[in-house]
Chain A
């Protein structure tokens, strides 16, 4: 279970030189085994929210809890143990340039656990087959297309079978077929392993069908938190406009 309780995050604004609230009073809950879709216009604070959840950014106000662990207050050792249970795919893929595809995918496994070489090879092969990149083990990230990098990043995020799966734009830049396949894969993986998934995507048409719940973040505030069906008929005109993709409205 991922629980956010009136979360507030401030970041330094480079242009003005002061600290500005990026997230303000955000509360939501992702029950175990659920896929939660977080959507919203650009620069709303979606990526900041994800990074705060996994403990990469400081919690300024409120509470972030993964199961029973308070991320903001966790001791370093506790945080390290927690990170074994988190998998994250980044918006910019964050593939290490000097490692092969196989080493990239195996990186969290090797760092956080102590697997045997055979185990690593087997798991990497299984993940690559899942994202339809069989045989790509020895390629370097620089030689991959944008969509292939996205899929490698997803494979790396899921190699440890993490109970918490955090996805930041997992399918941006993918063609419609690969994109649909990836979302189906997310759904299958989460259902099979019973993990908790928090996903950000601009591809509402493909994200919403696999989501159990959806949240709409605008300007650092969570305007809506509920089921997909509720979102489609939301009372707030901004949420209604965004979810239904209407050109006219308050946004």
Chain B
């Protein structure tokens, strides 16, 4: 970081655009390769590892219990906002709000619940995982693990990966239910849509549930892999921990947006 009297220098400005583009592309390729490699090693150690018992349960508590309040709060707000905005939008053409609930339920199950929830988990859980692992790297705890024949992927990544896989789905399902409830309340209070009209699940079919669950699972796998990758790559004291945590939030969020696009597009093309 240098001294505080040093202001950030946008060095990238002076690079020729094509050179920069090429460098970014190369970085992206090697980054994806590193992520895939970490993912494969995580899978390997999931079945072959010798980590202590209970580490996964501890992480599950951390992810599920500690991040539930934050996720519940944001999802409650997003439920109210989205019902309000879509009703306003609908009101400009046909002021008939009878189908708002049915469409909202479908959209919540297949898109908004998993993705907004996933983005929030990427922020909360991703930053936490990266901060922890990066701190362990810069204080040489990871070196000490390796010296005791304890692979950091086995000891640090696998418990977080397994816990996240399970808890992401659980937390997203619960918080989507909450978002549905706050949406129903908003429709009742702001647009006089009765609850028995709003609660209409006729549009939610198997394809929607399958898409939503697939997304939740994929996010649950992507968040710990991206965050631990950033955390384990940290170097250089407190500035390094800060950089790693920032990078983890960005990378996990980006991964969610990209995964969302590919799953949504495939589901659309398959006709689910």
Contacts and interface: CB of A to CB of B under 8 A. Distances in A.
Chains A and B touch (C-beta atoms under 8 A apart) = yes
Interface of A: 14, 51, 54, 56, 80, 83-84, 86, 88, 90-97, 107-108, 111-112
A56 B143 CA distance: 7
Contact of A92 (B138, B150, B235): B138
Contact of A94 (B144, B149, B150, B235): B144
A94 B236 contact: no
Interface string B143-163: 110111110000000000000
28 contacts: A14-B235, A14-B236, A54-B147, A56-B146, A80-B149, A83-B148, A84-B149, A90-B140, A90-B143, A90-B144, A91-B140, A92-B138, A92-B139, A93-B139, A93-B140, A94-B139, A94-B140, A94-B141, A94-B143, A94-B144, A95-B141, A96-B141, A97-B135, A107-B144, A107-B148, A108-B147, A111-B150, A112-B149
A7 to B, nearest CB: 19
Contacts of B135: 97
Main secondary structure of the interface of A (DSSP, over half): loop
Nearest to A47: B140
Contacts of B149: 80, 83-84, 111-112
Contact of A56 (B138, B141, B147, B236): B147
Interface in B152-202: none
Contacts of A111: 148-150
Nearest to A108: B148
A95 B140 CA distance: 8
Contacts of B150: 111
Nearest to A86: B147
9 A-B pairs closest in CB distance:
A94-B140, A94-B144, A90-B140, A111-B148, A92-B139, A94-B141, A92-B140, A108-B148, A80-B149
Given A56-B147, A93-B139, A97-B135, 6 more contacts: A56-B143, A80-B149, A90-B143, A92-B139, A94-B144, A107-B148
Contacts of B143: 51, 56, 90, 94
